[in-house]
Amino acid sequence: MPIHLFDSLERTLKPLTPAHPDGVFRFYNCGPTVYAPAHIGNFRTFVVNDVLRRLLELEFGANKVKHVRNLTDVDDRTIGQTQKEKRPLAEITKKWTDKFHADCDALNCLRPHAEPTATGYIKEQVNMIEVLMEKGNAYRAADGSVYFKLESFPGYGALSRIKERELKITNIVADADHKDSVSDFALWKAYKPEEDGDVKWPGPRGASAGRPGWHIECSAMSKSLLGDTIDLHSGGVDLLFPHHENEIAQSECCNGTTFAHHWYHSEHLLVEGTTMSKSKGNYYTLTDLVEKGYSPMAVRYALLMGHPRKQLNFMLDSLRAAESALATLRTFRAAMADSTGLVNVYASVVAALHDDLNTPAALGALFTAINHSKPSDVNAALFDRAMFALGFDLTAPTAPKAEVPAAITALAATRWAAKQAKDFATADALRKELTAAGWSMLDSKTDYKLEPHKKA
């Protein structure tokens, strides 16, 4: 079965196929805004898209997929951060780009084939805006900004099914933002010295110096690197409106053709029922979790435990379950050696992934297969291919032991010695001390393990 994926525009499952005669599948995934660390909610989206990228490679061939993921390194949020920190934009965006790359590598996400930055594509954005102005889809406002004229694109709202009345298409002349209609959106924002510091570029013909609006960035980078029509465009569900709706309007009016054949939106990671977000402050970064003693590979596994098109509640318990599932996979793989057995784990895993990227079903199929087989019955090469599809690197470091503070290790050792000597009163008192310090000691007959307490 080919890869079937839900298309948010047509609201149905559709097979993925490259439309261009060269057979190269063109895939654009909206990337991070690099003004702060990406949290593991953001990484849910990037890990899900990484599985998609891997599936596309397995289906069409590694050299028949072009995956582009941008870096938003200029927009309201990045500029706001330069004002807050009083540091140059490039310094801030470089810092968070480097951190993003390090986290992606730790999570075993394949690098996209191209990773354009919005500031590296200003000329291309200006060109698109000029075409839109020439065609009558955009206009210069009194302050020198440029707006997209929403009424000029009758197809607007097809992706989000936003009702006309919600769009409030009115003919209000010049509101506070100098727009003709409140629903028009900015393609180019005129320079405001008090807000923008030294961030500005020469504008489109007839407009003021300033900077691009966020939406035009993706339209221009996608056009420059993948052409006018792409096979798949994806992002988190919050990007569906207005970001992707606006991208469609700009690209289709400028290029005169379909922008994307398929739209995919994955759902959010929640914390106690609300979306994990930087603005709410209710987030974990990968570093937070590594500091608590979890391995990045377990974070990847846990992010794939829920169906990507359903919201997923984040819990530290899932990380513990992921850690032990990975340990089982490692042991099983080691026992398999280079077995040429007949059990094909890949077939069952990939069948679930081809069915709308059903990652929990894929993990279920994986464990059903290994629970019912001896390692020597399983085909090692196909098992490794299943690990590639899911992006599990079984050679990656396990939960780092060094994260346990030396004082805790010492307390635990003393307690273990007391217990061995049958001095249970001391052992119990020391356990209480460990608990108060946030650590659980899990005893087996011959050994013990230290785990941080659940806090989420």
- The site for ligand AMP (CB under 6 A) is made up of 30, 32-33, 41-42, 44-45, 72, 235-236, 238-239, 268-269, 275-277
Contacts of 161 (CB under 8 A, 6+ apart): none
Residue 210 partner contact from Zn ion, ligand AMP, none using kind-dependent CB cut-offs of 5 to 8 Å: none
Residues with Cβ within 8 Å of 126's Cβ and at least 6 positions away in sequence, in order, are 188, 201, 202, 203, 204, 212
Query: Using the rule CB under 5 A, which residue among 30, 74, 248, 298 binds Zn ion?
Result: 30
- Give the nearer residue to Zn ion in terms of CB position, either 238 or 428: 238
Q: What is the DSSP letter of 107?
A: T
Question: Cβ 244 to ligand AMP, closest distance in Å?
Answer: 10
Closer residue to ligand AMP in complex, CB, 98/238: 238
The interface partner of residue 236, options being Zn ion, ligand AMP, none and the CB cut-off 5 to 8 Å by kind, is: ligand AMP
Nearest residue by C-beta to ligand AMP? 236
Residue 441, binding choice from Zn ion, ligand AMP, none, Cβ under 5 to 8 Å by partner class: none
Min. distance of Cβ 195 from ligand AMP in angstroms? 20
Work out what residue 244 binds among Zn ion, ligand AMP, none; the CB cut-off runs from 5 to 8 Å by kind: none
226: CB partners within 8 A, 6+ apart? 26, 28, 66, 68
Please say whether the beta carbons of 36 and 45 come within 8 A.
no
The CB-of-144 to ligand AMP minimum distance in angstroms stands at: 27
Q: Which is nearer to ligand AMP, 140 or 268 (CB)?
A: 268
| Contact flag: residue 68 with Zn ion (CB under 5 A) | no
Q: Rounded to whole angstroms, what are the CA distances from 159 to 74, 260, 288?
A: 26, 11, 36
Pairwise CA distance, residues 407 & 413, whole Å: 10
Select the span of 30-38, 52-60, 178-186, 347-355 touching Zn ion (CB under 5 A). 30-38
Cα angle: 251, vertex 255, 258; to 5 degrees: 70
Binding at 44: pick from Zn ion, ligand AMP, none (beta carbon under 5-8 Å per type): ligand AMP
Rounded to the nearest whole angstrom, what is the least distance from the CB of residue 404 to ligand AMP in the complex? 30
Nearer to ligand AMP, 137 or 318 (CB): 318
**Which residue, 78 or 379, has its beta carbon nearer to ligand AMP?**
78
Per 3-state DSSP, what percentage of the chain is helix, strand, and coil (rounded to 5)? 45, 15, 35
Query: Among 56, 207, 218, 319, which residue interacts with Zn ion (rule: CB under 5 A)?
Result: 218
Choice between 94 and 432, CB closer to ligand AMP: 94
- Cβ at position 103, least distance to ligand AMP in Å: 12
Q: How many beta carbons lie within 10 A of that of residue 273, not counting itself?
A: 7
Alpha helices (H) in 296-355, listed in sequence order = 296-303, 316-336, 345-354
Closer to ligand AMP by Cβ: residue 69 or 261: 69
Separation of alpha carbons 143 and 351, rounded Å: 55
Sort 190 into a burial class: Cβ within 10 Å, 0-12 / 13-18 / 19+: buried
- DSSP state for residue 66 in the 8-state scheme: E
Q: What is the nearest approach in angstroms of Zn ion to the Cβ of residue 30?
A: 3
Residue 276 binds: one of Zn ion, ligand AMP, none (C-beta under 5 to 8 A by kind): ligand AMP
Closest CA to 107 of 161, 59, 50, 150: 50
Nearer to Zn ion, 30 or 141 (CB): 30
- Closest CB to ligand AMP among residues 313, 368: 313
> Nearest CA to 269 among 223, 226, 303?
303
Strands (E) in 133-257, as ranges, are: 138-140, 146-148, 185-190, 210-212, 232-236
Question: Could you tell which of Zn ion, ligand AMP, none binds residue 300, using a CB distance below 5 to 8 A set by kind?
Answer: none
Of residues 330-349, those binding Zn ion (CB under 5 A) = none
CB closer to ligand AMP out of 72 and 108: 72
**Count of residues engaged in binding Zn ion, rule: CB under 5 A:** 2
Q: Which does 218 bind (CB under 5 to 8 A by kind): ligand AMP, Zn ion, none?
A: Zn ion
Cα–Cα distance between 341 and 86 in angstroms, integer?
A: 62
Other beta carbons within 10 angstroms of residue 275's beta carbon come to: 18
Instruction: Please report how close the Cβ of residue 355 comes to ligand AMP at its closest, in angstroms.
Output: 21
- Which residues are near Zn ion by CB under 5 A? 30, 218
